Amino acid sequence: MTPQGGVTTPANLYLGATAGGTTSTDDSISGLLETVKIFMWNAQRGTWERMDLKETAPNSGIFRSTTCVLVADARHPGDGNLGSQPEDTIMAFYQDPSNHSDVSIISIKVAAGGAAGVTPPERLVKVEFDKDTYVAGETVTITVTDDAFAGASQITGDGILVLELDGTALETWNTIPAKPDTTNEFEVTYTLPADVSGTLTVTYTQPFTGGKTVSDTAEVIPAELENVTGIDVTPNPFDTEVTFTIIAEPTGAVADKLTVSVYDLLGRKVAEVSGTNTASVSWDGDDLRNGAYIYVAVVEGADKVWTFRGFVYIKR
């Protein structure tokens, strides 16, 4: 078994690896030939280095390393050291020189730490919207920053990024492409429907065991009303309740105020309903008899007033 034979392209599903060593390159941090029987290997980065051992006493059968290998050096990442980051896994391999099929392996997890008085850098993981407030129909840009995947072309995993509106899922991503000209940022976009409003929540979960989950929120407001071309009456005929909805431009815009008055065929007002900052109002006609009724809808918004008339029918 040799270091190059043991190094493969790190798999995201294995240990949250980022792009590093490959089977076609030699990633020894000192360039030593692959002839040693003891070596250390960073499973995430693909970097490795030999370890020389000496017996602690004649015939003791206990051997200790005579050299040290730097786990990391923030000044020179991966240059003369294993280039490790918190949550990486370092493995040590021993091969019996008298029996090459006899191999022992140990592993250890890299944790944030260091010498006394030294504060290790925090591994950044976050997700952000590009704005705090959106108008319905706008395009949302979502950026994921994750140092664990620095240098990778994308982050992949089932349902790693979820966009919700008031608790209802709008979109889910299994792949987040890298953002151009960055090392640890990944980006997706989503075009909001024209008729929505409420609170957006985006949640990113790192695709490996023990990965962090982070989220961000933003608000969606209706588009500003420009014009109203009519009133949609649904259902018509109706049994007990009917809804009057403005046909707005742009789609999804709401009125400052919507008032609907209902008259019988003799011209007597039998009902009136109204609402503010809304696109619709509903009327319960359960106490009236079957037949035709006249409605007058007055829409206020954008410093304008629109009036529409029509018939609505009760049929039971």
Q: 306 burial class (0-12, 13-18, 19+ CB within 10 angstroms)?
A: buried
Each residue's pLDDT tens digit, 207-262? 988 889 999 999 998 888 999 999 999 999 999 999 999 999 888 888 999 999 99
What is the spatial distance between Cα 48 and Cα 69, in angstroms, rounded to a whole number? 9
Range(s) of the chain covered by CATH 2.60.40.1930: 125-221
The count of C-alpha atoms lying within 13 angstroms of the C-alpha of 20, restricted to the half-sphere facing its C-beta, is 32
Indicate the pLDDT class of residue 114, thresholds 50, 70 and 90.
Answer: low
Sequence-ordered alpha helix ranges (H) in the chain: 3-6, 12-15
Indicate the pLDDT class of residue 20, thresholds 50, 70 and 90.
Answer: very low
Q: How far is CA 44 from CA 41, 95, 142, 207, in A?
A: 9, 22, 27, 14
What is the spatial distance between Cα 250 and Cα 254, in angstroms, rounded to a whole number? 9
What is the reported pTM?
0.50
3-state class (DSSP) for residue 27: coil
- Domain spanning 125-221: CATH superfamily: Macroglobulin (MG2) domain (2.60.40.1930)
Residue 139's closest CA among 66, 218, 63, 236?
A: 218
**Residue 49: pLDDT over 60:** yes
**Residue 120: pLDDT over 60:** no
The answer to whether residues 163 and 191 touch, using CB atoms and an 8 Å cutoff, is no
The answer to whether residues 300 and 228 touch, using CB atoms and an 8 Å cutoff, is no
Residue 157's closest CA among 146, 169, 168, 141?
A: 146
Q: What's the CATH number for 227-314? A: 2.60.40.10
Contacts of 67 (CB under 8 A, 6+ apart): 50, 51, 52
Buried b (16+ CB within 10 A) or exposed e, 81-120: bbbbbbbbbbebbbbeeeeeeeeeeeeeebeeeeeeeeee
Higher-pLDDT residue of 52, 176: 176
Each residue's pLDDT tens digit, 251-299? 888 899 999 999 999 999 999 999 998 999 999 998 999 999 999 999 9
> Which tokens hold the place of 312?
């609505």
Mean of all residue pLDDT scores within the chain: 83
Range(s) of the chain covered by CATH 2.60.40.10: 227-314
Which residue spans within 89-182 are E strands per DSSP?
89-95, 103-109, 125-129, 133-135, 139-146, 154-165, 168-177
* pLDDT on residue 101: 77
Q: How many CB atoms lie within 10 A of CB 189?
A: 9
- Backbone phi, then psi, for 228, in 5-degree steps? -125, 125
In the DSSP assignment, the letter for residue 138 is P
